[in-house]
Amino acid sequence: MSRRLVIILGCLGFGVAVILGGFVLFIKQFSQPSQAIIKVGNSGSSPPATITVSLVPTLVSDRYASFDYPAGLNLKTGTQIYPPSVATLDYSVKDVESWFLAVDISSNPSGNLSNNSAYLGRVDNPTEFHQSNTTINGQPVIIFTDTQAEGFSQIAFLVHGTWLATVSLIGDDVSGTQPLQTSFNMVLQTWHWLV
């Protein structure tokens, strides 16, 4: 055999050995149990556990009333208004449980709450709804707290002549109900009728 043929056969043998060795390592790697890193956390449909809702007061005003609400809440657009309502503003933000702030202004020709089903339903169920009457900025406010709700659930009724405003807030927060109570109080304490 010539020296050249020996070198060629040696190189081919070495190449085959390298390929077989790589193939054996490849097979061994696939026969081992696989390892993965699993990230435990919330899915895209759940809010993060550390969300912080901005409580910076933001003024809203229309032809009926003005008030402040927390900047961290987002106004829902396209809300339908049905008589006797003349204005409906819905705000929300995702948290542990989403926050929902609803402000509704409606015509109230009687000047009282005797025909309001939301009010009467709470009055008729005192074991679930705790009623408190207060005065804020010189106007009477009736507040109901849902004692059986998880988290925060309150609704306020503000009567002004032949107008009625209802302000309701429900939700929960990682730090408890205090941020929601602060938000609810913010709306009520800054409320000004413009009619």
Q: How confident is the model at residue 78 (pLDDT cuts 50, 70, 90)?
A: confident
Contact predicate 181/169, CB 8 Å: no
Model confidence over 120-159: pLDDT tens digits? 999 999 999 999 999 999 999 999 999 999 899 999 999 9
Q: pTM score > 0.85 for this model?
A: no
Contact predicate 124/156, CB 8 Å: no
- Flag the least confident range among 19-28, 79-88, 161-170, 172-181: 19-28
Q: Name, in order, each residue with C-beta under 8 angstroms of 149's C-beta and a sequence gap of 6 or more.
A: 170
- Is a pLDDT exceeding 70 seen at residue 26? no
φ, ψ of residue 191 to 5 degrees: the values are: -70, 130
Q: How confident is the model at residue 14 (pLDDT cuts 50, 70, 90)?
A: low
Contact predicate 89/166, CB 8 Å: no
CATH architecture of 57-193: 3-Layer(aba) Sandwich (3.40)
* Strands (DSSP E) found in 30-124: 57-61, 65-70, 74-75, 85-93, 97-107
